[in-house]
Amino acid sequence: MKDVIELLGHYEKFKIEHPRQGLEIFADWLKHRFTPEQDLLTDEQTINEAGLEVMFSYLLGGLAGYFEVWVKRTFADLPLRSLADFGILKSVAHLQKPSKKEVAQANITEPSTCIEIIKRLTRDGVFQELIDEQDRRIRRVSLTNYGHEINKLVDERMTNLGRLFTVNINEMEMRSLIPTLKRLVHFHQQLYQNRDQ
């Protein structure tokens, strides 16, 4: 009962500071209030002194680097070489006979890089090119039978990679991170789509 009374006291303080916010923000506020300062520091003193934004970018960049290493190891015996290859494979599978331009638009890669990956995966037997029935100038891409096998195998391996990547955080931590990561992804999707404006 003492904990409940203490919690109500914290909620009262929170509502004074943030009168329009609800329980979701209160949960974050409470979590950060009780997070030890040491947990917010990195091993690099200069990064710590630079502020939270730099620290966040530093840590996210480190994770991205590790993820790329694990992806390459995951795909070592497959025709896929990178996350870009994975994204293009999944786009072709999902969009079902997209044009090369549609594949490039659906991925965060330079169009020329996307086209080169499609060519390589076509040479490797993962994709096949089809001529568009309405406009013979347009080349469409689809999975071959081998491509469907690779797609299933990649799904299994990426599931295992996801488990490896999150092995030392619990479900509550993941549930706490996912909304924040989704907001960041959404923001950067919008920014990326409007990058030339």
Together in a domain, 83 and 152? yes
Bridge partner residues of 140 (DSSP): 99, 130
Together in a domain, 86 and 106? yes
Together in a domain, 20 and 64? no
Together in a domain, 155 and 85? yes
Together in a domain, 107 and 151? yes
Please indicate, yes or no, whether the overall pTM of this predicted structure exceeds 0.85: no
Q: CA torsion, points 190, 192, 195, 197, in degrees to nearest 10? A: -30
pLDDT tens, 28-65?
777 777 777 766 677 778 877 888 788 888 889 999 99
Together in a domain, 91 and 68? no
Dist CA 72 CA 66 (whole Å):
10
Together in a domain, 117 and 155? yes
Together in a domain, 102 and 155? yes
Taking alpha carbons only, the member of 38, 42, 41, 16 closest to residue 29 is: 16
Bridge partner residues of 141 (DSSP): 129
| Residue 131 belongs to domain spanning | 79-160
Together in a domain, 57 and 101? no
Cβ-based neighbour number of residue 102 at 10 Å: 16
Q: For the chain, what is the domain count? A: 3
pLDDT tens, 82-121?
999 999 999 999 999 999 999 998 998 888 999 999 999 9
Residue 149 identity: E
